[in-house]
């Protein structure tokens, strides 16, 4: 799968990018592109376009060209650039300097001096509660859901994307999501198409943000339209490997009366 994506990217981007920029784009794809849905294609093409200052006409051609290349007969695609990618990265990776020689030291005969600051710091660290780590699956699922929703609205109702953004942000402060997560959600809309939307929140907080987005979709498209967009977003999220651990439908827990 990764090899096909790389070969498709070479077929489409090689006419627009120089060798170094193409290699950088291939590594970006390798490290960030998780699937071949429309939302994944748009996010990747937009990221490459932003880095290389491509014009809007070229970006539109890349959307279509990359989509078709991913579904092209593999025999018609260029060779896998993986070996040249590795060679290029190895060439720019600085070699680690050898460690300095360790001088032999003789322990003093006197008793060690106790640093009261260090003792107090160690005691404070030992007494501090251990913060529970947020499971990684809910943010990944929420990211896939949001990328699909944003991509669909942009593709079919481009003028409505700004309306959805405004409505979502107006409802945000009244939501029950954690303040820090609300701020990250707010910042994400400044680059909605490029953002991976994997916000580091709990299941409950991300469900609350999902409710905010759903209500904004309802304002823009009505209840039936919002249900359809959300349903297709769920389908995209269910295709993510993490969905085997965390069901995307758990993000709908705070939406009352939803039937999809």
Token duo for residue 178: 């954690």
Length of the chain as a residue count: 260
What distance in Å separates the CA atoms of residue 189 and residue 117, rounded to the nearest whole number?
45
Residue closest to 148 by CA, chosen among 72, 251, 54? 251
| DSSP state string for 86-118 | HHHHHHHSPPPPPPPPPPP----SSPPPP-HHH
Within 8 A by CB and 6+ apart from 46, the residues are: 59, 193, 194
Q: pTM above the 0.75 mark?
A: no
Instruction: Give residue 215's pLDDT.
Output: 94
The number of beta carbons lying within 10 Å of the beta carbon of residue 112 is 7
pLDDT (tens, 9 = 90+) of the chain, 260 residues, equals 788 999 999 999 988 888 888 998 999 999 888 888 888 888 888 888 888 888 888 888 888 888 899 998 988 899 999 999 888 877 765 545 555 655 555 555 545 555 554 555 455 455 544 444 557 899 999 999 999 999 999 998 888 899 999 999 999 988 888 999 999 999 999 999 999 999 999 999 999 999 999 999 999 989 999 999 999 999 999 999 999 999 999 999 888 777 77
């Amino acid at each position: 799968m990764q090899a096909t994506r790389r070969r498709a990217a070479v077929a489409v981007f090689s006419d627009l990018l120089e060798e170094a920029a193409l290699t950088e784009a291939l590594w970006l794809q390798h490290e960030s592109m998780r699937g071949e849905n429309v939302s994944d294609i748009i996010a990747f093409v937009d990221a490459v376009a932003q880095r290389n200052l491509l014009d809007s006409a070229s970006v539109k051609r890349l959307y279509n060209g990359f989509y078709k290349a991913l579904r092209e007969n593999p025999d018609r695609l260029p060779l896998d650039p993986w070996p040249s990618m590795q060679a290029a990265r190895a060439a720019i990776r600085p070699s680690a300097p050898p460690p300095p020689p360790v001088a032999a030291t003789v322990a003093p005969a006197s008793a060690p001096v106790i640093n009261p600051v260090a003792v107090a710091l160690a005691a404070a660290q030992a007494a501090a509660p251990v913060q529970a780590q947020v499971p990684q699956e809910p943010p990944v699922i929420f990211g896939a859901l949001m990328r699909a929703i944003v991509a669909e609205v942009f593709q079919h109702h481009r003028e409505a994307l700004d309306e959805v953004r405004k409505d979502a942000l107006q409802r945000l402060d009244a939501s029950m999501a954690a303040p820090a997560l609300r701020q990250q959600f707010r910042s994400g809309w400044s680059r909605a198409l490029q953002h991976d939307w994997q916000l580091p929140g709990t299941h409950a907080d991300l469900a609350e943000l999902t409710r905010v987005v759903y209500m904004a979709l309802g304002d823009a498209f009505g209840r039936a339209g919002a249900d359809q967009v959300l349903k297709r977003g769920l389908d995209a999220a269910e295709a993510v490997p993490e969905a085997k651990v965390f069901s995307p439908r758990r993000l709908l827990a705070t939406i009352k009366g939803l039937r999809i």
